[in-house]
Amino acid sequence: QAQLRESGGGSFQTGGSLRLSCERSGPRYTQMCMAWFRQRPGEHREGVAAIGARQYPPVYARAAKGRATVSRDDTFTDLSLQMDRLKPEDTGVYFCAITLGRWCSKVIDDDDFQFWGQGTQVTVSS
């Protein structure tokens, strides 16, 4: 079991930056993958970034690559997402998710994640 709580959402300007945080509670597993997803208005939920073992680089979705940085602490307790050069199309609900007992895959697929936060709204205006 894992509980996840996101924070940091709000209203932002085009070209600005945001930093989202996710706090995990629950047992720690040897292998875990934590990720950020988002659901834009009228769209399906999509992966943004994922991070797992230190020896592998984080995984980024194409829309986030070059603008997003995902990071975590050593215990998988705190997950962050920094996103720069925001665009109106970054508007959506951002979710933190975790899968336990395995490292991240090369594709961020929501079917792979077992536990989810409630989400935090991000609105980017022009």
Tens of pLDDT, residues 10-64: 999 999 999 999 999 998 888 999 999 999 999 999 999 999 998 899 999 998 9
Residue 122 has pLDDT above 90, yes or no: yes
Tokens 């996103």 identify what position?
A: 83
What is the per-residue pLDDT for 28? 83
**Is 24 in contact with 4 (CB distance < 8 Å)?**
yes
**Is 122 in contact with 90 (CB distance < 8 Å)?**
yes
* Among 51, 118, 62, residue whose Cα is nearest residue 89: 62
Average pLDDT value for residue range 59-73: 95
pLDDT category at 107 given cuts 50, 70, 90 is: very high
